[in-house]
Amino acid sequence: MSEIRHSILFDEKRCIACVACTKACPSRAIRVRGGRVQVNADLCIDCGECIRACPHDAMSVRTSSPSDLKRFRHTVAIPSTTLYTQFGGDVRPSHLLHALTRIGFDSFYDMSWMCEMVGQALDAYLSECQDPWPKISVTCPAVIRLIQIRYPDLLPHLAPIESPRELTAKLIRRRVAQERGLPPEEIGIFYVTPCSAIMHSIIYPVGLEESYLDGAFSVAEVYGPLRMAMEEMGEASSSSATGFSPRGLGWAAAGGESAMMRNANTLTVNGVAEITHVFDRIEAGKFRSVDYIEAYICPEGCVSGPLLVEGWWRAKRNLREVISRLGRQASIQEEKTRKLFREHFFDLEEEVKARALRPIARDLKQAILRKREKEGLLALLPGKNCAACGAPDCATLAEDILEGDAVPEDCVFVKLDRLAGPSSARGGKASNDSRAKERPGPPGAAGPERDT
C-alpha cells in the first residue's frame, strides 16, 4: 500500500456504512468492512464522487488553510472559471476578482485567456499529431488517474498539452517575480478549485515533476467571504469588464473546451457512466473516427464540481449571462500561440505512466489460472452487484477474495445459502439452479430423475 496523501477525508462519526460511496466510486477504491469505510489509497483518484453520493456528509476535502498564505511574502489567487458562475449573471468578473484581495490574497489573475490559448494549442497539436486516435483531454485530473488505473492502454491517447491552471501559474510566477523583484519561492500561488481532484493534483501532479501551484481553496469555502467583500465594496468600485476571454470562460462547462477548437470532430463525455462506456469501447477499437474527446468525471464538467455552491443548472445559466454581458473582447492572436507551441511552452513535462496496483502474473500459465479462479468465484456469487458485502460489485469481491482480503461468506446470499443447509451449500447462482430443478414442470413434462 502506498503512502499517498489524498485530499478526501472521512468522518467516522458521521459514516453509517450505507455503501453509497462504495457504489459511486469509479475506481472501486472504497470498501465497507466491519461497519467501517476502508479506502485503498492506490486506487483512489480523489474525484469526489463519494462526496457527491454520501447522504450523511461523512466526506470532506483537505484544502489549504489561511496559515499557508503566511508562508509567502506575496500571495496570488487564480480562480477557476467556475467561480464566475456562482454569484449570478449580473456579477462582474472584475468585481469578483478584486474581492479576492479583501479576503487575504495580495493579487489575482484571471485564467480565461490561458484557456483560449490552450484551445488554440490543441488545434495546432491535432493538426500535426499521429495515431492513436482519438486523443483525450488531460484537463480533468481525475480522468487521467482513472486511465492510469483502469485503462492503461489508453495512455498513448492523452493529448500532451498541460492544463490552463498550471500554465497560468507557471507564467504568473515569472511575471510577479520580475515585477516585484521577489525570489520565485517567496511567491505563493493558490487555485480556487471546484473539485478535490485538482487539490490532489497539486500535491501529486501527473505530467509534471512539481506543480506550479502552492495550494488550493475550494469555491465553497471562499464563497461566503467573497459575497460579503463584494457587498462592502459596492458596485461603484467595480472595474471595467475587460481583459477576459468570453471563449475561455466557456471552459467552465462541458463542451467549452471543444467549442474553442476549429476541429469539429470532437466528442464530449461527462460523468462516470458515460466515461467508462466510451473508454471501454475505445479499448475495443471503436471511436477511431473521432479526433478529440473532452472528458470530465463530473456530470456537467467543472461547473458541477462537488466543491461548488450553486447547482449546475443555475451555474450554466449564470455562465451564459456573464459571457453575454462581456460582449465581444479581443481574442488571443493565434500567431502568438503557435509560436509558444513550437517552443513547447504547452507541453507536459513528463510522460504519464500507468499505476501498477496488484501483482502481475509472472507468466501466461499463472494468468490463465488466476482467470479461472476468478470465474469460479463469480459462478459462486449471485451477480446482483448489491454492494451489501462492502465491495461495489461481485467481480470486485471475487478479486478481493483472490487477494485474501475477503471470503465468499462476505456475500450475504452465499452465507444464507450455506446456513440453510447442505442442499443449498453451493450458494449463489448454483443454489438457484438446484432449486429450479426441483420445481415441478408443466403438465406432461418429465419430472426430475430419481435414484432407484
CATH number of the domain within which 34 lies: 3.30.70.20
- Taking the C-alpha atoms of residue 272 and residue 298, their distance in angstroms, rounded to an integer, is 7
Lowest-confidence segment of 11-25, 203-217, 236-250, 360-374 by average pLDDT: 236-250
Give the domain range for residue 376.
Answer: 365-437
- Is 38 part of a structural domain of the chain? yes
Task: Tell me what pLDDT residue 361 has.
Answer: 53
Query: Residue holding cell 487575504?
Result: 104
Lowest-confidence segment of 245-249, 309-313, 367-371, 429-433 by average pLDDT: 429-433
340 DSSP β-pair partners: none
Could you report the per-residue pLDDT of 313-327, keeping only the tens digit for each? 999 999 999 999 888
**Are 75 and 173 members of one domain?**
yes
- Whole-number average pLDDT of the chain: 88
Q: In which band, very low, low, confident or very high, does the pLDDT at 359 lie, cut at 50, 70 and 90?
A: low
Q: In which band, very low, low, confident or very high, does the pLDDT at 449 lie, cut at 50, 70 and 90?
A: very low
| CA distances (Å), origin 408, targets 34, 247, 425 | 15, 54, 12
Task: Tell me what pLDDT residue 76 has.
Answer: 98
Task: Find the mean pLDDT for residues 281-299.
Answer: 96
296 DSSP β-pair partners: 270
Could you report the per-residue pLDDT of 156-200, keeping only the tens digit for each? 999 999 999 999 999 999 999 999 999 999 999 999 999 999 999
Task: Find the mean pLDDT for residues 435-443.
Answer: 42
Give me the count of residues in the chain: 452
Cell numbers at residue 262, please?
476549429
Could you report the per-residue pLDDT of 401-417, keeping only the tens digit for each? 998 999 999 999 999 98
- Looking only at the bridges linking them, the beta strands covering 59-61 and 8-10 are antiparallel
- Taking the C-alpha atoms of residue 343 and residue 421, their distance in angstroms, rounded to an integer, is 73
**Are 370 and 329 members of one domain?**
no
Domain limit, last residue, from 61, 87, 102: 61
Positive or negative: CA dihedral 374, 375, 381, 387: positive
Task: Tell me which residue of 122, 102, 132 sits closest to 167, measured CA to CA.
Answer: 122
**Are 100 and 21 members of one domain?**
no
Total domains, the chain: 3
**Are 211 and 332 members of one domain?**
yes
Other C-beta atoms closer than 10 Å to the C-beta of 359 total: 9
Task: Tell me what pLDDT residue 390 has.
Answer: 94
pLDDT greater than 90 at residue 106: yes
- Taking the C-alpha atoms of residue 177 and residue 74, their distance in angstroms, rounded to an integer, is 10
Cell numbers at residue 432, please?
438457484
Task: Tell me which residue of 137, 217, 210 sits closest to 170, measured CA to CA.
Answer: 210
**Are 92 and 240 members of one domain?**
yes
**Are 167 and 315 members of one domain?**
yes
- Is 91 part of a structural domain of the chain? yes
**Are 185 and 231 members of one domain?**
yes
- Taking the C-alpha atoms of residue 215 and residue 221, their distance in angstroms, rounded to an integer, is 14
**Are 49 and 163 members of one domain?**
no
**Are 56 and 70 members of one domain?**
no
Task: Find the mean pLDDT for residues 203-215.
Answer: 95
Cell numbers at residue 116, please?
483560449
pTM of this structure: 0.87
pLDDT greater than 50 at residue 436: no
- Is 270 part of a structural domain of the chain? no
Contact 297, 275 (CB under 8 A): yes
**Are 123 and 167 members of one domain?**
yes
Other C-beta atoms closer than 10 Å to the C-beta of 265 total: 13
**Are 107 and 210 members of one domain?**
yes
- Is 22 part of a structural domain of the chain? yes
Could you report the per-residue pLDDT of 125-155, keeping only the tens digit for each? 999 999 999 999 999 999 999 999 999 999 9
| CA distances (Å), origin 270, targets 285, 392, 448 | 20, 21, 52
Q: In which band, very low, low, confident or very high, does the pLDDT at 419 lie, cut at 50, 70 and 90?
A: confident
**Are 216 and 163 members of one domain?**
yes
Task: Tell me what pLDDT residue 166 has.
Answer: 97
